[in-house]
Amino acid sequence: MTLGFIGDIVGRPGREIIDKHLVNLKKEYAIDFVIANYENASHGFGLNAKNAKELLESGIDAMSGGNHSFDKKEITALFETYPITRPLNYPKSMPGEGVLKTIINGTKVALVNLMGHFAMPMCDNPFNAVDGVLQELQEEGYKHIVIDMHAEATSEKQALLHMQKEYASAILGTHTHIGTDDLSIVEGCCYVSDVGLTGCRDGVIGMDKSAPINRFMNGFGEYFDVPKECKSILQVIIFTLDDEGRCTNAQKIKVYSEGDVVITQARVESK
């Protein structure tokens, strides 16, 4: 089974480059299922119904969230309508679920969504929240388990890898919008600290550069806005899992708005 994972989709530029390239990528790499992080998809903050439908029609099959999951109030209804999650370690009283279960070509697949602690909204401890969950999923027959770890700190993501690599097929970091170069397969678990954004690459974390520069220079907070025009990028991790849910191959594809494509192979880490 081959899966694709797209990091934080930031606004219209992110949605447009996905719509332009994802269907062809799915055909070229025989991708069975694509997961993407939606939390910045609607003008940089949250997800609305129109954009959710648009992304799913563009070739995305399921979506995970993060600290901006609840920025659009209509998200509550979307949890009941579309295959989307929010972090598992939000309080249980919050709408939505942190685990999405599905069947792909007869194989049970689970998506687990977590959110880190450092510089993030108050929530339950992600390490305690997920403790035992993956084992329970495997007991239910879900050997193919993908985790979106939405966190600021790479240390939290790496710690999760060492805690859950035995049970997870892939642990893929999101949130910082800046892709890291540590794509690897660690004892059968696909890992990267951050996939990187899909959207504008010539601003600051997908946003127009004016507001963040003014904030850094003057300490004056301004509204972060997604540019109407920019140089964009699509970043996707493509990984193959065997029948036991262990990763056998992984690569990162970067598609630039100018047409360039950069491919990076994962390094296999032995015991």
**Summary mean pLDDT of the chain:** 96
Mean pLDDT of the region 104-108: 97
- CA pair distance 115, 156, nearest whole angstrom: 10
* Amino acid residing at 126: P
DSSP H stretches of helix in 29-108: 49-57, 75-81
Phi-psi bin for 43: left (phi > 0), alpha (psi -120 to 50), beta?
Answer: left
**What is the model's pLDDT at position 29?**
98
Query: Is pLDDT at 271 greater than 80 in this prediction?
Result: no
Mean pLDDT of the region 129-133: 97
Kindly indicate the confidence band of residue 209, based on its pLDDT and cuts at 50, 70 and 90: very high
Query: Is pLDDT at 109 greater than 90 in this prediction?
Result: yes
**What is the model's pLDDT at position 221?**
79
Phi-psi bin for 236: left (phi > 0), alpha (psi -120 to 50), beta?
Answer: beta
- CA pair distance 4, 28, nearest whole angstrom: 12
Q: Exactly one of 68, 144, 150, 177 is catalytic; which is it?
A: 68
Query: Is pLDDT at 182 greater than 90 in this prediction?
Result: yes
- When computed from its CA atoms, the radius of gyration of the chain, rounded to whole angstroms, is 17
Q: Measured between alpha carbons, how far is residue 195 from residues 7, 152, 167, 228, 259 in Å?
A: 5, 13, 21, 23, 20
Residue entry with tokens 């004016």: 210
Report pLDDT digits (tens) over 25-46: 999 999 999 999 999 999 999 9
The proportion of the chain whose per-residue pLDDT surpasses 90, expressed as a percent, equals: 96
Active site residue 68: yes
Assign domain 2-201+230-269 to its CATH architecture. Answer: 4-Layer Sandwich (3.60)
Mean pLDDT of the region 12-16: 98
